[in-house]
Amino acid sequence: MEEEKPWALISEVGGPHGYLEELADIVKQHFQIVCYKDFLQNPVLYGSKIQALLNWKYCPAAKPWLLKLLPCLKVVASGGVGIDHLDVPFINSLGAKVANTPGVVSDATADLAMGLLLASARNILEGHQIATDPKTVHIPQNLIGVEVTRATLGIIGMGEIGYKIAQRSKGFEMKVMYHKRTRRSTKDEQAVGASYCENLDDLLRCSDFVMIAVNLTSETSGLIGHRELSLMKPTATLINISRGLIVNQDALLEALQSGTIRAAALDVTHPEPLPRDHPLLELPNVLITPHIGISTITTARGMVKKMVENALAGVKGLPVPNEVHPH
């Protein structure tokens, strides 16, 4: 007889925050799943069985009241690499481990970063809107873009994702500068032709494209504010694929409205989504995507597999491959 599979709490199958069927199937290979809605119908019954909480697109949120209903919880396995939405020390204090999915998200995120850079530089969104608009009579000259080849790319944060962005930009003969808490090895730098900027200000002054690729921490929150934006070139573009809170959004709004910088391309904002009347939504020089950095079927599969791997290890009391420890 097949050993009974351990129980896992998930958000839902289908729906905006849910898993595609094929992704849910990956989970079901190893877990009995309870959807959040069903869990709430009978929290006592399910609560006593659930050993893993699978957190996908921030759902179900690992809030204290929910965690207290899961006395057998051994692991919170999050999909994605960012864990700023999880109180790791608190979860650990309940006897549960926290895991994320680094590595597997890096390619897709780096691809999107380059896509946003190019789409903004070359006005692809506006171009499409004009090309398809029934009222279009002629091409406005303000559709002219800025050159990407041989431009200077300043990467803030050169972890795995930042490094992959540097690798991709090399084919465009971009001059790459980076700023990071700790400098990378000479070998790494030479492999992508990246120069270290000890002073973030220098990177901001020299870059045509500023790419934010850092974790959200207390040090990086509000890292890009009025002063930083004022140091940037008026022809420069800011690209953010990290977390919305790293940028002071009011300062960004002002900088974009006044022409202090040319444009911004954001896969992340704070909050997500922005309120429907937020001024950033109306600016002509802003490209916003709804946090789709990892949204490819290939990467989603990889993430779910890793989540499952982490959750199984946690449930079995084995070392969790991607355990997140408090700093």
Q: By CB under 8 A, is residue 196 in contact with another protein?
A: no
User: Checking phi first, is residue 157 left (phi over 0); if not, alpha (psi -120 to 50) or beta?
Assistant: left
124 binds another protein per the rule CB under 8 A: yes
Among 35, 119, 210, 246, which residue interacts with another protein (rule: CB under 8 A)?
A: 119
Given candidates 6, 79, 102, 115, which one binds another protein under the rule CB under 8 A? 115
Give the DSSP per-residue string, 80-142.
SS--TTS-HHHHHHTT-EEE--TTTTHHHHHHHHHHHHHHHHTTHHHHHHHHH-TT--S--GG
CA dihedral 6, 52, 98, 215 (to 10 degrees): 120
Please pick, among 160, 189, 254, 272, the residue that the annotation labels catalytic: 272
Answer for the pair 179, 186: CB distance below 8 angstroms, yes or no: no
Dist. CA 105–CA 309, nearest whole Å: 15
Q: Which two tokens stand for residue 300?
A: 């989603």
Closest to another protein by CB, 69 vs 146, is 146
* 17 carries an active-site annotation: no
273's tokens: 């989504």
List the catalytic residue out of 168, 179, 184, 243.
243
Could you say which of 78, 100, 169, 240 contacts another protein (CB under 8 A)?
169
Q: Which helix (H) or strand (E) holds 11?
A: none
Residue 95 — left, alpha, or beta (φ > 0 → left; ψ -120 to 50 → alpha)?
left
In the list 59, 61, 118, 191, the residue contacting another protein (rule: CB under 8 A) is: 118
Choose the stretch contacting another protein; rule: CB under 8 A; options: 12-20, 59-67, 237-245, 318-326: 12-20
Binding mask 257-286 for another protein (x = CB under 8 A): ----------------xx-xx---xx----
CB of 311 closer than 8 Å to CB of 52:
yes
286 in Cβ contact with 264 (< 8 Å): yes
Among the candidate windows 92-100, 135-143, 215-223, 307-315, which touches another protein by CB under 8 A?
135-143
Residue among 92 and 296 whose Cβ is closer to another protein = 296
Per CB under 8 A, 227 contacts another protein = no
Question: Does 114 engage in binding with another protein (CB under 8 A)?
Answer: yes
Q: Known catalytic residues? A: 243, 272, 291
Q: Binding residues for another protein, per CB under 8 A?
A: 14, 16-18, 20, 107-108, 110-112, 114-116, 118-119, 121-125, 127-128, 130-132, 134, 136-139, 141, 143-150, 167-173, 273-274, 276-277, 281-282, 287-292, 295-300
